[in-house]
Structure 1
Amino acid sequence: MRLLTTLAFLALAACTTAPASPAADANTVADGSTITLAPSQSAQLADNSRLDYIKLNGDSRCRPDVQCVWAGDATIAMRWTPANAMTAQDFVLHTNLDPKSFDANGRTITLQALERGDAPKATLQVQ
């Protein structure tokens, strides 16, 4: 009986699939593409540098259901760390004022859209 149980276990083990190898980081961004990040999330750029969405700094945008004289502006705090550097560079991106883009050593990171709320997701284009 013990031998039968062992053989059954080995047969089942042989039928199971091996775990897949870890996939590439889902937040790796190819040049010319966009990525959506939430606060405290990061992405690896094509040159292996790192882009971090730190937080929402402020949001004075007019609510969609209200008619305003000025559309307002929202700002997010970001950080870029070059691939082979120990120091990072902090920067701010705006929705309606400048700067809307940041030069990351020849790559341009542009804020395309920003959701509303306390922890809004940001859609960024990397070129």
Structure 2
Amino acid sequence: VYKRQGQGSADELKKVAMHVAASKPEFVNPEDVSAEVVEHERQIQIDIAVNSGKPKEIAEKMVEGRMKKFTGEVSLTGQPFVMDPSVSVGDFLKSVNTSVSNFIRLEVGEGIEKKEEDFAAEVAKITGGNA
């Protein structure tokens, strides 16, 4: 489910909807990534950089580069388009003169807990405990 603005055809927008279903973006644009998510990821990247033994200046540049990559990966417009990975979804949307202002992604079976049973116990139960 998405909200669009512009002139994109139904086929072009269906491709974007298929991209959302396949790539699971969490935000529309890189700048939409919440401060909490950014700070959490930044802390992880700082820890990785510090543990790698790099000098502080190099570690800071590594973190900045990784954060830019991260925000692109979790946002719809920053991801490589699944129909043509040579362009980003944002570039594709610009080429068809449209934009996505919001989307909702639903996943079938999401949140369903599966009951796990021990196979040996199940066989024993069926055979009356003589397994």
Q: TM-score, normalised by structure 1?
A: 0.23
Q: Which has the higher contact order (CA 8 A, sep 6+)?
A: 2
In terms of fraction of residues, the more strand-rich structure is 1
Q: TM-score, normalised by structure 2?
A: 0.23
In terms of fraction of residues, the more helix-rich structure is 2
